[in-house]
């Protein structure tokens, strides 16, 4: 979000282009600091669509965790969870400890790609 806020300050294409080094430094800072991030800063928030418990997804795992706590989940509810192991679809709702660093690194890379395209030359 920090990069998007910075981009919103640009008044034209030249100002956007000039921001590339600064924005890349912001991205790199987040990548470098991921190792020491507090789990609370990495909470994933997703609005629940349908109640599909059988799907093997992070959202389905979160639904099961909410239900274990006796919390009834409904479509439209915002789920909050920490990804502990994305390959095995393990999430935690509380008592955070370790988190799946590779998952969060992929999220950062995906976010950077959302921004990086603005620096490509116009053809």
CA 104, 43, 88, 113 torsion-angle sign:
negative
Residue pLDDT, tens place only, 21-48: 999 999 999 999 999 999 999 999 999 8
* Domain at 7, CATH number: 1.10.132.60
Burial class (CB in 10 A: 0-12, 13-18, 19+), 90: middle
Q: How many domains does the chain have?
A: 1
Residue pLDDT, tens place only, 65-114: 999 999 999 999 999 999 999 999 999 999 998 999 999 999 999 999 98
Residues 113, 21: Cα–Cα separation, whole Å: 15
Question: Band of the pLDDT at 49, cuts 50, 70, 90?
Answer: confident
* Residue 50 in this model has a pLDDT that exceeds 80: no
Q: What is the residue range of 14's domain?
A: 2-119
Query: How far is residue 119 from each of residues 30, 38, 57, 107, measured CA to CA in Å?
Result: 20, 31, 33, 20
Predicted local confidence at residue 52, as pLDDT:
62
């Amino acid at each position: 979000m920090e990069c998007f806020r910075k981009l919103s300050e640009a008044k034209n294409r030249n100002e956007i282009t000039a921001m590339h080094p600064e924005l890349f430094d912001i991205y790199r800072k987040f990548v470098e600091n991921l190792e020491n991030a507090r789990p609370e800063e990495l909470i994933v928030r997703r609005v629940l669509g349908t109640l599909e418990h059988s799907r093997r997804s992070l959202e389905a795992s979160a639904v099961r965790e909410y239900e274990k706590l006796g919390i009834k989940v409904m479509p439209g509810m915002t789920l909050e969870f920490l990804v502990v192991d994305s390959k095995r679809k393990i999430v935690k709702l509380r008592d955070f400890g370790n988190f799946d660093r590779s998952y969060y690194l992929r999220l950062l890379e995906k976010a950077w790609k959302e921004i990086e395209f603005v620096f490509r030359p116009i053809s």
